[in-house]
């Protein structure tokens, strides 16, 4: 499983906002420069993060972006899923019809992959941006 470049950029953006502190606003250009993210691409990601309830935007001359909640309440899993959708290490875990063996939940590989995925999700859920910004 690879985290997409989009998710990586989104993680950087949320981390940058986390480091600014709760309630602090940054404009998109500043976030893009600090995160080495192309501005047009960042704007697309920021919209997804707003839709997911992770950040909020402010319009106008003093506008920008800020975290919608405390950095300790935002997990890596939440940001990744806001960008990439639900995590699945194999497509058969997303949808039973993708099982190449036509066994669905009777497949021993599926059962083990499902267990591994749950561990991965749990670990990603444990890592929050308060922890990341302090490391």
Mapped onto helix, strand or coil, the DSSP state of residue 104 is helix
* Token digits of residue 132: 């990341």
Q: Which residues have a Cβ under 8 Å from the Cβ of 12 and sit 6 or more positions away?
A: 35, 36, 37
Phi-psi map region of 133: left, alpha, beta (phi>0 left; psi -120 to 50 alpha): alpha
**Strand (E) or helix (H) holding 83:** helix 76-84
Q: Does the domain at residues 5-133 carry the CATH identifier 2.40.110.10?
A: no
Q: What is the pLDDT of residue 59?
A: 92
| For residue 81, pLDDT beyond 60 | yes
* Span 8-62, pLDDT tens digits: 999 999 999 999 988 899 999 999 999 999 999 999 999 999 999 999 999 988 8
Q: What is the pLDDT of residue 99?
A: 64
Residue ranges of the domains in the chain? 5-133
Tokens 């929050």 belong to residue = 128
| For residue 103, pLDDT beyond 90 | no
Q: Quote the CA–CA distance of 133 and 47 in Å, as a whole number.
A: 22
Between 83 and 63, the higher pLDDT residue: 83
**Reported confidence tier of residue 70, pLDDT bands at 50, 70, 90:** very high
Q: What is the pLDDT of residue 88?
A: 82
Q: What whole-number percentage of the chain has pLDDT above 70?
A: 87
Between 111 and 84, the higher pLDDT residue: 84
Q: Which residues have a Cβ under 8 Å from the Cβ of 76 and sit 6 or more positions away?
A: 11, 124, 125, 127, 128, 132
How many whole angstroms from its chain centre is CA 55?
Answer: 12
* Span 45-57, pLDDT tens digits: 999 999 999 999 9
Between 106 and 18, the higher pLDDT residue: 18
């Amino acid at each position: 499983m690879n985290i997409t470049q989009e998710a990586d950029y989104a993680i950087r953006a949320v981390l940058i906002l986390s480091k600014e502190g709760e309630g602090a606003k940054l404009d998109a250009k500043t976030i893009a420069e600090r995160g080495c993210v192309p501005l047009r691409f960042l704007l697309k990601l920021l919209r997804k993060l707003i839709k997911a309830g992770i950040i909020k935007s402010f319009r106008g001359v003093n506008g920008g972006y800020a975290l919608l909640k405390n950095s300790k309440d935002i997990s890596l899993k939440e940001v990744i899923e806001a960008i990439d959708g639900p995590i699945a290490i194999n497509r058969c875990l997303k949808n039973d019809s993708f099982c190449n063996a036509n066994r669905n939940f009777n497949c021993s590989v599926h059962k083990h992959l499902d267990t591994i995925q749950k561990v991965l999700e749990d670990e990603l859920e444990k890592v929050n941006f308060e922890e990341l910004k302090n490391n």
